[in-house]
Structure 1
């Protein structure tokens, strides 16, 4: 078993989903997106899974909604940090 292929943090999926929803993947650089992902994911305790289906079928709705809100808040906070930091550098 290769851990890097079989196990991943479910929040990675939620953070990327939020980034795509905001359209940042089309307007920001790869470096910005990488920093954004790191900053957002470091704010949230990891939730490791093997299969996406595990989260879809076995996670209670209220817990799934809370996880989505955690990802949204973490991404928004990371965007604010990055944008404020880059404006201070100018």
Structure 2
């Protein structure tokens, strides 16, 4: 098994689809698109799967719409960071702060995130 081949983060697919739009491809070079992808993916909860078709067949359409909206928002936020790239002017020392986190670690897991086998309570 090769984990990079057999398992992937479905959010990478959604970010890739968003970044393939003309508004990004025509505006940014390859390096900037890679930066956009990294920044956007850092804001999104990963969803690791083996086969897109199996995942999508069990995923409610409403949830897919939400995931696509999260992706769009993450890419738009990443774009702001690329436009206002601090690396251009290193004399500014302004920290980047995410004002709206994309997920909450305390939120209950989705059905596809829950482990299939639960550990027995130790006495």
Normalising by structure 1, what TM-score?
A: 0.88
Alignment partner, residue 66 of structure 1: 66
1:65 and 1:77 map into 2 onto residues whose CA distance is 18
Alignment deviations for residues 1-34 of structure 1 (CA, whole Å, 9 cap, x no partner): 1111000000001001111124422432111011
Q: Unaligned 5+ residue runs, structure 2?
A: 90-123
Q: Which has the higher helix share?
A: 1
Q: CA RMSD in A?
A: 2.0
Moved over 6 A (4+): none
Higher alpha-carbon Rg:
2
Alignment deviations for residues 60-90 of structure 1 (CA, whole Å, 9 cap, x no partner): 111111100110000000001110126x63x
Q: Unaligned 5+ residue runs, structure 1?
A: none
2:78 and 2:70 map into 1 onto residues whose CA distance is 12
Higher relative contact order (CA 8 A, sep 6+): 1
Normalising by structure 2, what TM-score?
A: 0.66
